[in-house]
Structure 1
Amino acid sequence: MLVTSFNQFMGLLLVALSLSGCIRTPEWTLFYFADATDNTDQRLQHDVIKGYYDTLEQCQAKGSGLVRIQGITVTEQVDFTCGQKCETLDNNQIDCQQLISDKDFLKQL
């Protein structure tokens, strides 16, 4: 009986430890505006979030890939933005420590 309880405890402990490695906050959030219903309103809203990424490079790669897949030509209009350490405020607005637009990304190429 004691051995069974110990084995169950160890099993639960291993599961908890393995899951704790999977739970972490991503560093970058991709906001993609090209398929939004109103492209003139490019505010950071939950409905334009297309993913969460560990690095800026991953976020930019996904954003530029979405632009290419949709066959959108590069214009003056910003189609995606990567936000660093974004959080939702009490008024449901999204606040990010830093924002980097696709235009900033294209300048690096």
Structure 2
Amino acid sequence: MLATSFNKFIGLLLVTLSLSGCIRSPEWTLFYFADAADKTDHTLQHDVIKGYYDTLEQCQAKGSGLVRIQGVTLTEQVDFTCGQKCETLDNNQIDCQQLMSDKDFLKQL
């Protein structure tokens, strides 16, 4: 009887933990513009999202890695931006609480 109650408790605990991972939203969104059709248009759109990350450092590392892999030179043109706590508005525009461009990232180095 005790083993059955314990097994139910463990099962419920595992289900709760697995569901909590599914509803956790990422803190940072990577917007990557170097492979966009219009390289001068840096508006935040869904087609330039390249990933979601828990920390700014993870987002910037992925963005700079994509720049290096594609052999894109970092010029005055921004190639990626990390947005904090981004959400899609009713008009399908993306709004972020804070934006950090690759130029901001390079200043930190």
Q: Please give the alpha-carbon distance, in whole angstroms, between the structure 1 residues aligned to 2:11 and 2:93.
A: 38
For 2:103, the aligned partner's letter is K
Of residues 54-63 and 11-20 in structure 1, the stretch that sits farther from structure 2 once superposed is 11-20
Aligned length: 107
**Structure 1: distance between partners of 2:7 and 2:39:** 54
* Structure 1 gap ranges (5+): none
Partner amino acid for 2:12? L
**Which residue of 2 is the match for residue 44 of structure 1?**
44
In the other structure, the counterpart of 1:59 is 59
Residue 14 of structure 1 and its aligned partner are, at CA, apart by: 3.5
Shift of 1:20: 2.6
Gaps of 5+ in 2: none
Letter in 2 for 1:28: W
RMSD over equivalenced CA pairs, Å:
1.9
Q: Do structure 1's residue 13 and structure 2's residue 12 form an aligned pair? A: yes
Deviation, 1:94, is 0.1
Identity of paired residues, percent? 76
TM (norm. structure 1) is: 0.87
Q: What is the match of residue 94 of structure 2? A: 94
Residue 13 of structure 1 aligns to a residue in which SS?
helix
TM-score norm. by structure 2 comes to 0.87
Q: State the distance in 2 between where 1:9 and 1:47 align.
A: 44
- In the TM superposition, what whole-angstrom CA distance separates every residue of 1:15-34 from its partner, at most 9, and x where no partner exists? 42121331201100000000
